[in-house]
Amino acid sequence: MTSEAFILDGYVDEPACLGVSPYISPYVRYCAGVCIENGFEVRYATIDQLRKTPSLLIDIEKSDLFVFIAGVTVPGKYLGGTPASSNEIFQIGSSLKNPLKCLGGPVIFGSASGGGNIAEKQAYSVYDYILKGEVSSALNSVLKSGNSYGDFSYDKIDRRSVLGSGIIKQHPKFPNVICELETARGCSRAVKGGCSFCTEYLYGMPQYRCEDGIHKEVAALYNSGAVHFRLGRQPDLLAYGTVSGEEFPRPVPEKMESLFSGIREAAPSLKTLHIDNINPGTIAKHPDESKEALESIVRWHTAGDIAAFGMESADPVVIDENNLKAMPDEILRAVEIVNEVGGIRDKNGVPHLLPGLNFVMGLCGETEKTYDLNESFLLSLLKTSLLIRRVNIRQVMPFEDTKAYSDNTIGQHETRFKIFKEKVRKEFDLPMLKRVFPFGTILEGVVTEVSGQTSFGRQLGSYPILVGFPYEISEGKVVDAFVTDWGFRSVTGFEIPLFINNLPHTAIKKLPGVGKKTAVKIIAKRPFKNLKELENVTGSLGFSEYISF
Ligand code: SF4
């Protein structure tokens, strides 16, 4: 009889890897590959599925091997899933008697209840093995020799990633899942000690995966039905394939070209190909090569993409004391270059590639003045025509082994922090959203995640904009939408086509240019046979091309 392995996805979120549903992380896919190599049949479920269906625990108990992947080392808010808490990790582990229990992922760095809290390491002694080193290799060592440490090897990862690719079909949201792809591990800034709060440099200097391995994995995932991909498992995509060993390696544009064109060849009908982290310091220090590499990305990716800049602070004192990547003038230069290359809009009006800015508060050296500087940096951007896709503000969550663990300003500027967040939402996010997604912009492939009187959905991609529909749409439906209004962090949209004869009364009132009175008239005169009949009642509508009867 074949042995069964059960992989439970407790989700991961690290500075350079996201695996919270609808993202599926490399960890679980590689571990599936190891299980298959060792003769196991693999079952996969997410922690959300287990919460919803606790009887899944009976299936886990019957399995021979239980692999739990979890760990969040950057605080975040998620719509698509809730990462496993340390309580859950304990409870699930202690309730199981039969299977060999293995726990792995960034959970080994520790956990905290959220940003602004110190992360503490846990022993998790209810598990037979804590997977250390490279997680999938550690799992293999456990199965082969009972040793829980795994050496890092991209040769093995390449093989196992292909073998384990099929588990994406077991994801509850399949085929609406995004495969997080790995191109590198470790950070080139480790050579200078890395940023004070980050766990990525603890992986050491970067090792880059060969493009052949990435392309073969993409082909295997694509053959299993994947059409959404993000190159997210690396700290700085522009550094891909460099060999210098420098803190800010000079990008090699040809590498970017062949990496991306090869992905397109491996998955010709993919729907999403996005990126994540780009080090703004790399762009500022090597503008020409960076520009060329960004042009390759824009040539092959899909629009609506974000280059996430870990800016963290506009205060030179904080930048210096925390060994951050770039000074404000360098960030500005990087923002300009990404705008120049990626600011062009696709046929739907969506910009191709825009910078996103991440701020981290509570770092050492921070004062009230830090907040003033952050605000004036952002407000000065508004005075230009530059586009910023989104601003992420979070409080540091320091981990043992990082400098921020013992040296931080957590809790010292709580009130100022709240004022800063509020000011950015109102005075920066709102006008910027209007600039990035003007009225009528079409957002294709929005997947509804919350159904109700107002339904919410997002596209599959890097930091997709939240779309609120002022009416009920069933969960999991994939729709195209056009933008009609803006919130601080979201837009209002209506489906394309817009079936005016079926739209609920409450939603009709929210159509642009349609007030309460006109809404009543529309309801009274429905059904309409064509646009002329409708516009006899409403007058000319600015979105008539989206209406259907
Ligand atoms: S540049 Fe800093 S924040 Fe980015 S991965 Fe390296 S150490 Fe972490």
Q: Is the pLDDT of residue 359 over 80?
A: yes
Ligand 1 in reach of 185 Cβ (< 6 A): no
- When computed from its CA atoms, the radius of gyration of the chain, rounded to whole angstroms, is 24
Instruction: Report d(CA 112, CA 107) in Å as an integer.
Output: 10
Q: Which domain holds residue 332?
A: 175-436
CA of 208 to the centre of ligand 1 (A): 16
Say which range, 86-95, 227-236, 379-388, 536-545, has the weakest mean pLDDT. Answer: 536-545
The rounded Å distance from CA 383 to ligand 1 centre is 29
Residue with the smallest CA separation from ligand 1 atom 4 is: 235
pLDDT at residue number 184? 95
Residue 387 Cα to ligand 1 midpoint, Å, equals: 24
How many structural domains comprise the chain? 1
The string of pLDDT tens digits covering residues 217-262 is 999 999 999 999 999 999 999 999 998 789 999 999 999 999 999 9
What are residue 394's phi and psi, to 5 degrees? -140, 165
Kindly state the percentage of the chain with pLDDT values over 90.
Answer: 91
pLDDT one-digit tens code per residue, 454-470: 999 999 999 999 999 99
Whether the per-residue pLDDT at 53 is higher than 90: the answer is yes
Nearest residue (CA) to ligand 1, atom 8: 198
Q: Please give the structure tokens belonging to residue 15.
A: 């500075």
CB atoms within 10 A of CB 151: 11
Lowest mean pLDDT among 105-119, 143-157, 287-301, 421-435: 105-119
**Does ligand 1 lie within 6 Å of residue 325's CB atom?**
yes
* pLDDT tens track for 505-528: 999 999 998 888 999 999 999 999
Would you say the CB of residue 310 lies under 6 angstroms from ligand 1?
A: yes
* 99 in a structural domain: no
103 class by beta-carbon count within 10 Å (0-12 exposed, 13-18 middle, 19+ buried): buried
pLDDT band at 121 (very low <50, low <70, confident <90, very high): confident
- What is the pLDDT at residue 2? 86
Which amino acid residue places its CA nearest to atom 7 of ligand 1? 194
Residues contacting residue 384 through CB under 8 Å, at least 6 positions apart: none
CB 361 within 8 A of CB 197: no
| Interstrand relation of 207-208 and 184-185 (parallel, antiparallel or unpaired) | antiparallel
In this prediction, residues 306-333 reach a mean pLDDT of: 98
- Average pLDDT over every residue of 379-396: 97
Residue 385 falls inside a structural domain: yes
Confidence of residue 201 (pLDDT cuts 50, 70, 90): confident
- Per-residue pLDDT, 203: 85
Q: How much distance in Å is there from the Cα of 198 to the middle of ligand 1?
A: 6
Ligand 1 centroid distance, CA of 190 (Å): 8
Residue 140 in domain: no
Q: Does residue 535 fall inside a structural domain?
A: no
Name the nearest CA neighbour of 183 among 201, 212, 210: 210
The half-sphere exposure of 232 on its side-chain side, counting CA atoms within 13 A, is 29
Please say if the pLDDT value at position 356 is more than 90: yes
Q: Ligand 1 pocket: which of 240, 279, 402 to mutate (most atoms <8 Å of CB)?
A: 279
Q: At residue 154, what are phi and psi to the nearest 5 degrees?
A: -70, -25
Length of the chain: 549
CA triple 129-180-243, angle to 5 deg: 90
3-state DSSP assignment of residue 9: strand
The pTM of the whole model exceeds 0.85: yes
pLDDT confidence bin for 477, thresholds 50/70/90: very high
Cβ pair 440, 483 in contact under 8 A: yes
Backbone phi and psi for residue 428, each to the nearest 5 degrees, phi listed first = -115, -55
For ligand 1, atom 6: residue with the closest CA: 187
CATH of the domain at 371: 3.80.30.20
Classify 244 as helix, strand or coil: coil
Q: Which of 107-116, 275-284, 378-387 has the lowest mean pLDDT?
A: 107-116
Residue 464's closest CA among 383, 525, 390?
A: 390
**pLDDT at site 336:** 98
Confirm whether 29 is domain-assigned.
no
Residue 367: helix, strand or coil by DSSP? coil
The pLDDT value recorded for residue 378 is 98
- Position 205 in a domain: yes
Give residue 114's pLDDT band: very low, low, confident or very high (50, 70, 90).
confident
Ligand 1 binding pocket includes 278 (Cβ within 6 Å): no
Which pLDDT tens digit goes with each residue over 141-167?
Answer: 999 999 999 999 999 999 999 999 999
DSSP one-letter string for 455-519: EEEEESSSSPPEEEESS---TT-EEEEEEEEE-SSEEEEEEESEETTTS-HHHHTTSTT--HHHH
Whole-number pLDDT of residue 10: 98
Q: Would you say the CB of residue 15 lies under 6 angstroms from ligand 1?
A: yes
To which residue do tokens 């824009």 refer? 298
pLDDT in tens, 336-350: 999 999 999 999 999
CB of 399 closer than 8 Å to CB of 73? yes
Residue 419 lies in a domain: yes
Output the average pLDDT for the chain: 95
Atom of ligand 1 nearest to the CA of 199: 8
Paired with 72 in beta bridges are 13
Determine, yes or no, domain membership for 234. yes
The atom number, within ligand 1, closest to the CA of 235 reads 5
CB 117 within 8 A of CB 82: no
- Asked if pLDDT for residue 313 goes beyond 90, the answer is yes
Distance between Cα 70 and ligand 1 center (Å): 21
pLDDT at 112: 80
Q: Is the CB of 105 under 6 A from ligand 1?
A: no
Q: Is the CB of 200 under 6 A from ligand 1?
A: yes
Residue 75 has pLDDT above 80, yes or no: no
Side chain identity at residue 528, one-letter code: F
